Structure 1
Amino acid sequence: MTESNGSPSPERREDMPDWEKRFRAPRVSLPDWAEDAPDRSLFVSNATGTYELYAWDRATGEQRQVTNRPNGTTDGVLSPDGEWIWWFDDKDGDEFGVWRRQPFAGGEDELAVPGLDPSYPAGLALGRDGRMAVVGRSTDEEGTTIHLARVSDAPVELYRHRESAGVGDLSHDGSLIAVEHTEHGDAMHSALRVLRPDGTTVAELDDTKGGTVELGLEVLGFAPVHGDTRLLVGHQRRGRWEPLVWDVATGEETDLALELPGDVSAEWYPDGSGLLIGHSYEARGELFRYDLRTRELVKVPTPTGTVSGATARPDGSVEYLWSSAAEPSSVRSTAGGVVLDPPGLKSPGSVPVEDVWVEGPGGRIHALVQKPVGATGPLPTVFDIHGGPTWHDSDSFAAGPAAWVDHGYAVVRVNYRGSTGYGRAWTDALKHRVGLIELEDIAAVREWAIGSGLADPDRLILTGGSWGGYLTLLGLGTQPDAWTLGIAAVPVADYVTAYHDEMEALKAMDRTLLGGTPEEVPERFEASSPLTYVDQVKAPVYISAGVNDPRCPIRQIENYVKRLQARGAVHEVYRYDAGHGSLVVDERIKQVGLELDFAERHLKGRGSRGD
């Protein structure tokens, strides 16, 4: 057993390998812009080696770093008038803290809402005049609360419930507040309620009522027009995510009925005349403009790949964050060119992704495959399993998989049942037999990989972070002969202890997935917990964990590690001072380097790679 707790940052070398350059190269998020001051923007960048918030004045070109914390900052909101930057201040990545704000032009930070105790964030909406905010909070003791805060006044509670909820949006004139809630007890499918600032209810929209079919709703935003009572809503009434326009004053619903095969999201154009449509289908993304008057859908040109975010500007242009597995991300505009290009080191590209469809026990499974240029199988193969679980891998740039490819591995990523982007039935299939369902799909793709000649069965690595780390540990125990070694980052390892220690919103999700608490359905928690199968693990195991993680807390990981130690099982553990992953580039590089080294040492001498 090897244990590590940190070391000095590696020296920067001009001859650093490509995999390290991909992590070090400065990257930026899609800039958020102030609705009433569109030249003022806010974005996230790793330019200093830590992900932090940056203010950008487009009129002058000036950019400045807003936050500067040892473990980084990514949660920030720009006020509609462009005067204030709100950012969430937690402790070392534990996600429990308070909102602070700073003038856009710079200055001292101040407590944004005096009178509210620290909590987990549950949404934030800011008034246009800079004097009102709607703040969502989540704690173990209170459940979810939503407060209305006005400058110079004490915050007033508008909403409280034990189940998870969150702030959806605030109308343009500040008279309406949209809330997503799960008072019915299903954390995967929200209902909507619209409140006045005095807390009284204006309207309700709940697709979970009166039936056994579980349908969810999400707030996409109020119309950006003063006095407009239209709310853009995402729904699942036809088995996938689609938008509709709901007039909360009249109750009228306008179903767009878009003829697109995948999941569809939307946001308003700044004048409220149309919608910017985001379409996700089979691991790729594209954009459209929908005219609300003519009901015409027009494609917005983007390259083939993944659009991770997009926004329509006041001049009608669209800015979007795009990448593919082969090309690094960039912020582009339909007006032409790259919008925001950070100076310094440029990220090397990688290899394109190949699509594979495999028949599985629950239907066709989509997998994405990358392999070194010119390589022929059988290859050492990494099954890199995504987190979430309500997420999906896509044809987008990712430094982690690219690092494995650089070192001679094939990489397979599986969009198992529970993944988004393949319809509601595929996502909602993940119930009660949690973890075991996903592993059935991963096993089917594993058999394809071996049978096709891609993967060497003696050199198979199962790896992932968060939910992917959980599936890694569960797979090593339930499929002990299938995997050569496992690498799990910030995993769920002991499901019962994880439930009792994790943040309240995740407890609600676990109750939905498993049908109750550990005390109510102990057999389901036992069947889905990696700790149950730890004595069956044969492969060497590498685990990394953040000691401040509120999502996959450290105590339940220590329980699993103690069981490995008691058996004398081959394992290594790396603990670091952060939460659910790290926002520090050096730390992330160190973690990937340790994973690559672990794999190299334990695969040495196996198969053709060791000949």
Structure 2
Amino acid sequence: MSESGGVVGAGVSMADWEKRFRAARVSLPGWADDAPQRALFVSNATGTYELYAWDRDSGAQRKVTERANGTTDGALSPDGEWIWWFDDKDGDEFGIWRRQPFAGYPGTRPEVDEPAVPGLDASYPAGLAIGRGDGPVVVGRSTDEGGSTIHVVRGDAAPVEVYRHRESAGVGDLSHDGSLIAVEHTEHGDAMHSALRVIRPDGTTVAELDDTSGGTEELGLEVLGFAPVDGDTRLLVGHQRRGRWEPMVWDVSSGEERDLALDLPGDVSAEWYPDGSALLVVHSFEARSDMWRYDFVSGSLERIETPRGSVSGATARPDGSVEYLWSSAAEPPVVRSTSGGVVLDPPGLAAPASVPVEDVWVDGPGGRIHALVQKPAGATGPLPTVFDIHGGPTWHDSDAFAAGPAAWVDHGFAVVRVNYRGSTGYGREWTDALKRRVGLIELEDIAAVREWAVTSGLADPDRLVLTGGSWGGYLTLLGLGTQPDAWAVGIAAVPVADYVTAYHDEMEALKAMDRTLLGGTPEEVPERFAASSPLTYVDAVKAPVYVSAGVNDPRCPIRQVENYVDRLAARDAVHEVYRYDAGHGSLVVDERVKQVSLELAFAQGHLPG
């Protein structure tokens, strides 16, 4: 197998696949509503993903956080004076909000930033909304013991609890004048479909919007944001009433609902322009996305030109321009503006390009399955082929730049990514299809695409790798056990391996999701958990197995991974395990490069030929 390479600096050689991981990246900058020259973004420029402050007037940039395992959760106060960031322990996602001045400290920097909300104990985060001036700050939290809570804080006063429920809930948004709080909740018990409640800062209810009852199927709602105008009680809401995600405007005072009925296929999301006169629409369809401007007065929809690929974030600026983070499978991500040019250019090494993605549609047991295929330029099959399975499951692979698949292509592999039933982007019915037979339904679709890959001549049936992270790691282990003759090697990162133990050890929000997917707890529906658990089929696994896991992972906890590995070891099955000191993945570039190196070496060492 081949490996493309290059030279960086004097005498320092680095392969292209490694360059893609080490190249500096930046997120779409978020900006302070009332101080748009002040921005906050995430970058790996120093080798670990951390928060950076950016004064756009002067061009000055400053690293805000510096922690061994990185930091990505942060927010600016509307006046731009404060940066809030979430402080957990080594990736366990359990911690508190801290804050520091946007300009940094005038004297010696303290050892650790001050708690942003003294009096609130550590928890999992469930939304944050920061009010203007002396307005309220709204903090969403969840704990295994207390369920979901929402607290309101004013100045130096003690936090006041305004919401509590056992089921999952979180802060959606705070109105521009701080008088209304939008809450997404799942009090009805379906963690896949939220209902909305708008409350005042004292906790009293103003309005309810619930699409989860009254019909044959539950539908979800999501908060997209209050109108950015004082006294305006319009709330932009995402709904599924026509079988896909679309925006509408709900006036929470009058109860009026304005159905926008945008004539676009696929899922549609939106956010307000800063003056509230229009919406910036991001439209996703068949693994690609584009942008539009919807004008409230005329009702017109105008396309905003973007290259073919994926927009993974967009924001409208006060001057009417739109900044967006764009990439394609072949071209690395870049923050662009409709006013022209690159908005934020990261320093140092640039990521090499990769190969374009090809679309494949395969007839499956639940309908047409969309798969994305990449292969080395000029290569003809049959090729060693990697089925790289996405996580979520409520997610989808898209025509966007990804260093992992590109690394496999550089090493001579074809890469197939399957948007199986359960994936987003293909309608509500497709996303909701995996209930009850969790894991098994997704693997039916993966098997159908595998059959196409072999019969089409793309894939060598004796050199097929099944891999993925998180839910993709779970499907990898489940696939190795339920389809033991289909795969030559399995590589699972941060997987669910023992579903029952995972349920008991994971964070509360994921327990709620599992109860929704499987219809109850392990004690209530033991047969469903058993049927969907990789541990049930571990003795049938034939392929060599590689497993990596974060020891602090709250989503796919380490104990259940150890249970699976112990069963492999008990029968001397060929396997390797790599444990690292982080949570659900790593924000450290060196660590990520090490993991990919180990995965590549394991596949090459165990594939025939």
Q: TM-score range by the shorter chain?
A: over 0.9
Aligned residue identity for 1:319: E
Identical aligned residues as a percent: 84
Residue in structure 1 matched with residue 586 of structure 2 by the alignment: 582
TM-score, with structure 1 as normaliser? 0.97
For residues 75-127 of structure 1, the C-alpha deviation after alignment (integer angstroms, 9 at most, x for no partner) is 00111110110000000000000000111001252100011000000000000
> Which residue of 301, 314, 319 maps to 1:315?
319
CA distance in 2, matches of 1:560, 1:130: 52
What's the C-alpha RMSD, in Å, of the aligned pairs? Answer: 0.9
Taking the TM superposition and a 5 Å limit, the aligned residue runs for 1:397-546 are 397-546=401-550
User: Would you say 1:257 and 2:264 are equivalent positions?
Assistant: no
Residue in structure 2 matched with residue 326 of structure 1 by the alignment: 330
CA distance in 2, matches of 1:128, 1:122: 20
Residue in structure 2 matched with residue 48 of structure 1 by the alignment: 46
Aligned residue identity for 1:254: R
Please state how far the C-alpha of 1:157 moved relative to its aligned partner. Answer: 0.3
> Which residue of 201, 224, 229 maps to 1:197?
201
Please state how far the C-alpha of 1:211 moved relative to its aligned partner. Answer: 2.4
CA distance in 1, matches of 2:569, 2:604: 22
Runs (5+) with no aligned partner, structure 2: 1-8
> Which residue of 308, 321, 338 maps to 2:342?
338
Aligned residue identity for 2:217: V
Residue in structure 1 matched with residue 3 of structure 2 by the alignment: none
Residue in structure 2 matched with residue 216 of structure 1 by the alignment: 220
User: Would you say 1:159 and 2:157 are equivalent positions?
Assistant: no
Q: Secondary structure at the match of 2:151?
A: strand
Taking the TM superposition and a 5 Å limit, the aligned residue runs for 1:327-406 are 327-406=331-410
Residue in structure 1 matched with residue 599 of structure 2 by the alignment: 595
Taking the TM superposition and a 5 Å limit, the aligned residue runs for 1:180-191 are 180-191=184-195
Residue in structure 2 matched with residue 8 of structure 1 by the alignment: none
Residue in structure 2 matched with residue 123 of structure 1 by the alignment: 127
Q: 1:455 to 1:12 in 2, by over 3 A?
A: farther
Q: Secondary structure at the match of 1:429?
A: helix
User: Would you say 1:232 and 2:249 are equivalent positions?
Assistant: no
> Contact conserved, 1:487 with 1:543, CA < 8 A, in 2?
yes
Q: 1:495 to 1:545 in 2, by over 3 A?
A: same
CA distance in 2, matches of 1:12, 1:437: 52
User: Would you say 1:306 and 2:306 are equivalent positions?
Assistant: no
CA distance in 1, matches of 2:352, 2:217: 47
For residues 270-296 of structure 1, the C-alpha deviation after alignment (integer angstroms, 9 at most, x for no partner) is 000000000000000000000011100
Aligned residue identity for 1:374: G
> Contact conserved, 1:81 with 1:130, CA < 8 A, in 2?
no
Please state how far the C-alpha of 1:13 moved relative to its aligned partner. Answer: 6.7
> Which residue of 97, 100, 107 maps to 2:98?
100
CA distance in 1, matches of 2:213, 2:405: 43
CA distance in 2, matches of 1:360, 1:54: 45
CA distance in 2, matches of 1:198, 1:131: 13
Runs (5+) with no aligned partner, structure 1: 1-10
Please state how far the C-alpha of 1:130 moved relative to its aligned partner. Answer: 5.7
CA distance in 2, matches of 1:97, 1:128: 25
For residues 155-196 of structure 1, the C-alpha deviation after alignment (integer angstroms, 9 at most, x for no partner) is 000000000000000000000000000000000000000000
Please state how far the C-alpha of 1:12 moved relative to its aligned partner. Answer: 11
Please state how far the C-alpha of 1:151 moved relative to its aligned partner. Answer: 1.3
Aligned residue identity for 2:14: M
Aligned residue identity for 2:204: T
CA distance in 2, matches of 1:189, 1:125: 22
CA distance in 2, matches of 1:185, 1:14: 56
Residue in structure 2 matched with residue 150 of structure 1 by the alignment: 154
Q: Secondary structure at the match of 1:267?
A: strand
Q: Secondary structure at the match of 2:356?
A: coil
CA distance in 2, matches of 1:197, 1:597: 55
> Which residue of 1, 25, 28 maps to 2:26?
28
> Contact conserved, 1:80 with 1:130, CA < 8 A, in 2?
no
Q: Secondary structure at the match of 2:477?
A: helix
Please state how far the C-alpha of 1:129 moved relative to its aligned partner. Answer: 1.3
> Which residue of 56, 74, 88 maps to 1:58?
56
> Contact conserved, 1:127 with 1:174, CA < 8 A, in 2?
yes
> Contact conserved, 1:419 with 1:426, CA < 8 A, in 2?
yes
Q: Secondary structure at the match of 1:41?
A: strand
For residues 382-433 of structure 1, the C-alpha deviation after alignment (integer angstroms, 9 at most, x for no partner) is 0000000000000000000000000000000000000000000000001000
CA distance in 2, matches of 1:297, 1:163: 38
> Contact conserved, 2:278 with 2:295, CA < 8 A, in 1?
yes
> Contact conserved, 2:362 with 2:448, CA < 8 A, in 1?
yes
Taking the TM superposition and a 5 Å limit, the aligned residue runs for 1:541-552 are 541-552=545-556
Q: Secondary structure at the match of 2:13?
A: coil
CA distance in 2, matches of 1:256, 1:135: 31
CA distance in 2, matches of 1:418, 1:307: 22
